[in-house]
Amino acid sequence: MNATPHDEGGDPACWLDRVCQECGRITDRPAEPGCEHCGAGTAAQAGPARDRDPEGRARNARPRDGLGRPLPYGAPGVARQPEGIERSPRQTLAEAQDLLDRGMPFHAHEVLEDAWKTAPESERQLWRGLAQLAVGLTHAARGNAKGGAALLRRGAGAIAPYAHTVPYGIDIPGLTAWAGTLADGLGRREGPVEAAGNAPRLRTGEARPPA
């Protein structure tokens, strides 16, 4: 269960914004017009200059709304999750679940991506897949049905090999079933889904919070 050779990670915000609205795949050339996979336009056309954090790493400084969509510079936005926080696996799952329950899958993906970046090699695909599930729900809540469905299926495929190990009590069968059901449903509806109402349960036996 090794990580895939081609890492589609990087800046958490760029990971979402580089998803093609048509085929759901991630572009390797976000500054160029057109998706190299299907020929359609990409979700974002980045300019040559990129925002950087105090350490010099590429990180979009534009404010974001509750689903991580970029807002104009200077506009009020929803605070991003702090990057590079070290959490135990159970802390990661608890924080991500809380954000999912609050209808903030973009922010949950940032927490899960921190775990992906620091996980041992044997677990990287697991945390990457969980982050992709959160990205898929984010796109579904934004109204991008094709991208959301593609990322949900990609995330489910990434975590499926862990089904027999039950790492940290993660409900692998439940998550893969949830992702498949939501992905299938996206192809039969128009418009965005409600993020909190469609949030998955990350761990076995976790009850959904009262409405």
User: What pLDDT was estimated at residue 25?
Assistant: 61
The amino acid at 62 = R
pLDDT digits (tens, 9 = 90+) for 162-209: 999 989 999 999 999 999 999 999 988 778 999 999 999 999 987 777
Give dist(CA 180, CA 25) in Å, integer.
Answer: 17
Question: DSSP letter at 58?
Answer: B
Which pTM was predicted?
0.75
Q: Residue 113: pLDDT above 50? A: yes
Output 11 or 161, whichever has higher pLDDT: 161
Is the dihedral angle over the CA atoms 162, 90, 118, 59 positive or is it negative?
A: positive
CA gyration radius, the chain? 16
Give dist(CA 211, CA 90) in Å, integer.
Answer: 24
